[in-house]
Amino acid sequence: MRQHSIFKASITTMVLCLFSFNAFSQVYSNKESSTFSFTAGMTSSNLLNDSVKYKSGISFTGGFIYTIVLSDNFNVGAELLYTGKAFKNDQPIIKYRYFYLDIPLYAQYKLGENIRFNLGAQYSTFTNSQVVVLDPANANGVNVKPYNNIKPADVGVLFGTEIDLTKNLALTARYTLSASTFLSKNQVNFGVFQLSFNYSVYRSHKQFLNRHKEKE
């Protein structure tokens, strides 16, 4: 009788152990699937193949970023940016500002835990432009006038690096070059360096079931 009780207790203990092991082997964990961010920064632009030989100027860029996680090593990113591309003459002092709506689309390779490399393309469409000239007649000493666009639309190639500074803040350095630079030597083309800060405001996660298997 005593042996029977010990046998039942042993079986019960084994069943409980197996149940507990199976339960703990099924671990639910959250894995990031996409990120939505705001971005803002500065641009330094050059005009390539231009007869006037403008000097590069400093302007700004800002907009939104949506990134989708494809795997542990790859993401896909899409952005919507309002970007200024500025140029200037020193004699006489004239500043030209061209504003575009940029739509970059790129693949993102994770070089490490906090650093990523971006490679892709960008479509740009002209929105407005202005020229700033010295005008002593005005109180602020300058006169700002609308100006003709230098390029109605542009398709470019881009590459750059993104580094995480904190969990939600990243620093991005990027260079975008008009694709027509490689196709036509007679067109005016943009070369734009961009330095931006990206701030993540929303992260979505997918829940998956992870089963730990014993090694044979």
Q: Is residue 35 part of a domain?
A: yes
58 occurs within a structural domain: yes
Residue 18 lies in a domain: no
Tell me whether residue 4 is in a domain.
no
Average pLDDT over residues 10-21: 45
- Tell me 163's DSSP state: E
> Quick check: 44 pLDDT over 90?
yes
- Give percent above pLDDT 90 in the chain: 52
Angle CA 50–51–52, to nearest 5:
95
198 located within any domain: yes
- Residue 54 in any domain: the answer is yes
Give the count of domains, the chain: 1
Q: Helices (H), strands (E): how many in the chain?
A: 1, 9
Looking up residue 142, the CATH number of its domain turns out to be 2.40.160.20
pLDDT tens digits, residue range 60-72? 999 999 999 999 8
Lowest mean pLDDT among 57-61, 71-75, 146-150, 211-215: 211-215
Q: Give 78: exposed, middle or buried? Use CB within 10 Å, 0-12, 13-18, 19+.
A: middle
Q: What are phi and psi of 36, to 5 degrees?
A: -115, 130
Domain limits at 86? 29-204
